[in-house]
Chain A
Amino acid sequence: MHNKNSPATFWVFEFIFRVLPHLVLFAVLIWLWELAVGTGFITSIIIPRPSKIGGAIVELYITEGTIYRHFFITLTEAVVGFLIGATIAISLAVSSSLSETFKRYVIPYAIVLNVTPGIALTPVIIAWFGYGMGSKIALAAIISFFPIFVNTLTGLVQVDEDREELFQSLGATNYQVFRKFRVPAALPLMFAGLKIGLTTALIGAVVAEFAQATDGVGVLMSRFSFQLNMAASLATLMSMTTIGLILFYTMEFLDDRIVFWRRENRRAAASRARARAWKNQL
């Protein structure tokens, strides 16, 4: 009988039952793909074999290393655009939650901005902000704005009559209700909005690069596609996926730490941390 508490045994079982099936499935899919191209079922000009993509990856990421400059440019555009979009969205959501009048005037613009396909603004944005990073940052900011604005505002104006009555009975000021109750209560929804916003910011940056730019993974990818170098093009696409994953997990990490009270393991950790912090205060 194996010892369930031994960490080594745990990881072996974890690998066999949870990781291995994924690896096998992935390997089979790649093998089928290789087979389909190899037998001529798919033309290799349209979709190259996985092994050719592998070769392009080695070239782009290791032997020549051309990808990194573009990678960091796109990453920067997405992050800076997101930060600008999020700052404006949160400021307007907070103001709208505090003033009914302000909200009435802001909402129509927010809706118009939302129903207009943000991507369609690309030519205009490039005309305004030029071929450089400015236009990419601007488009990323514009299309990340709405999900953050709407989610934050929804979080701030949600009604919890019981807790509001509690604060009222304690004689709390409006500012205290806002800071001690509304803001923390809005955090889960705000983070949901931030997660969507960060993903859309990356879309904005890449689409603007496709349209007109000199640097960035979008430029690199469309350049390879025009040369019908599909293997390199798809190898570049992988870097966008990587940027997306980095952004997504950074946000997940922050969400987990800041809105700690929703997950059992984070609650327990936070509880232990508070107990330590309080020890000298009692």
Chain B
Amino acid sequence: MPDPTIAQSSTHDIVVSGQGVGKTFADGSVIALQDAHFNIKRGSFVSLVGPSGCGKSTLLRLISGLIPPTSGEIAVHGTPVTGPRADISMMFQKATLLDWRTAIENVLLPTEINGTPTKADKNRAFDLLKLVGLEDFAFSFPAQLSGGMQQRVALARLLQTGADILLLDEPFGALDEFTREHLNLELMRIVQEVGATAFFVTHNIAEAIFLADQVVVMTSRPGRMAKIVDVDLERPRPLSIQTSVEFNKLVEDVRETLGEM
């Protein structure tokens, strides 16, 4: 890790940046996010961690263009975000699959929205299902899949968009501990494999550190970015890394920042 602070990295490596980003709801009485500054490098895995109401989901929706900021500006690949765009894709806590479509047809949805899928698109969808380990379930309907498998389909659909900025809003939050841990490992491998930049919202500190290159620690009332913690742990990371001294130092650092509030 040559450069410990993201602020120093050269500008052409920055894919997502925010300057004084703020968002208020309900006629300005609820401040969801206040004065956020960030510069995220290409290929980084960024975790957003904090208590509920700290604005982490709001920040994700602002980056995605689903909601506009009240103040400041977010830029992706150097152009300001004004609405949903092709280079950004989002995954939700619920799998949000369409019940009447098979797994592969669900994966093809983003392609269908942009036009008629070609044979190459269909092959890509099948390859992505392979990548998430579901090639045997390509023609199953969501109701025939477990919760974890449904989220894998959602992950394949996320990748099918071809976006290089992935926004993940507690994607495995509704799953049991074992499935979540397993899918986190898969997610880490896949994001690295496709070379995407990822934003991952969670309220689990260990999970945030384990996955990330940078952990954005957020605090609530008003939602604020309190600190960005760099995670200099080697990759690939085995699950056992979570018991190491370095790892626990990072956990302590994040906890302290959260505890200050």
Contacts and interface: CB of A to CB of B under 8 A. Distances in A.
B109 interface: yes
A275 B126 CA distance: 12
Given A163-B96, A184-B100, A271 B85 contact: no
A242 interface: no
Given A168-B84, A180-B112, A278-B104, A271 B144 contact: yes
A267 interface: yes
A162 interface: yes
A162 B104 CA distance: 20
A171 B141 contact: no
A261 B143 contact: yes
A166 B141 contact: no
A280 to B, nearest CB: 10
B123 A282 contact: yes
B30 interface: no
Given A169-B90, A172-B113, A282-B126, A274 B64 contact: no
Of listed A169, A171, A172, A271, residue having the most chain B CB within 10 A? A169
Of listed B94, B102, B112, B144, residue having the most chain A CB within 10 A? B102
Interface in A86-132: none
A246 interface: no
A261 B99 contact: yes
Contact of B98 (A165, A169, A180, A271): A180
A171 B66 contact: no
A162 to B, nearest CB: 5
B7 interface: no
A180 B85 CA distance: 20
B150 interface: no
B43 interface: no
Contacts of B139: 271-272, 274-275, 278
A231 to B, nearest CB: 50
B68 to A, nearest CB: 13
B183 to A, nearest CB: 19
Interface in B77-133: 83-86, 88-90, 92, 94, 96, 98-100, 102, 104-105, 109-110, 112-114, 119, 122-123, 126
Interface of B: 64, 66, 83-86, 88-90, 92, 94, 96, 98-100, 102, 104-105, 109-110, 112-114, 119, 122-123, 126, 138-141, 143-144, 161
22 contacts: A162-B92, A162-B96, A165-B66, A166-B92, A169-B64, A169-B84, A170-B109, A170-B110, A171-B83, A171-B86, A172-B113, A180-B109, A180-B113, A261-B99, A261-B100, A267-B143, A267-B144, A271-B139, A271-B144, A274-B102, A278-B104, A282-B126
4 smallest beta-carbon distances between A and B, as pairs: A275-B139, A169-B90, A261-B99, A166-B96
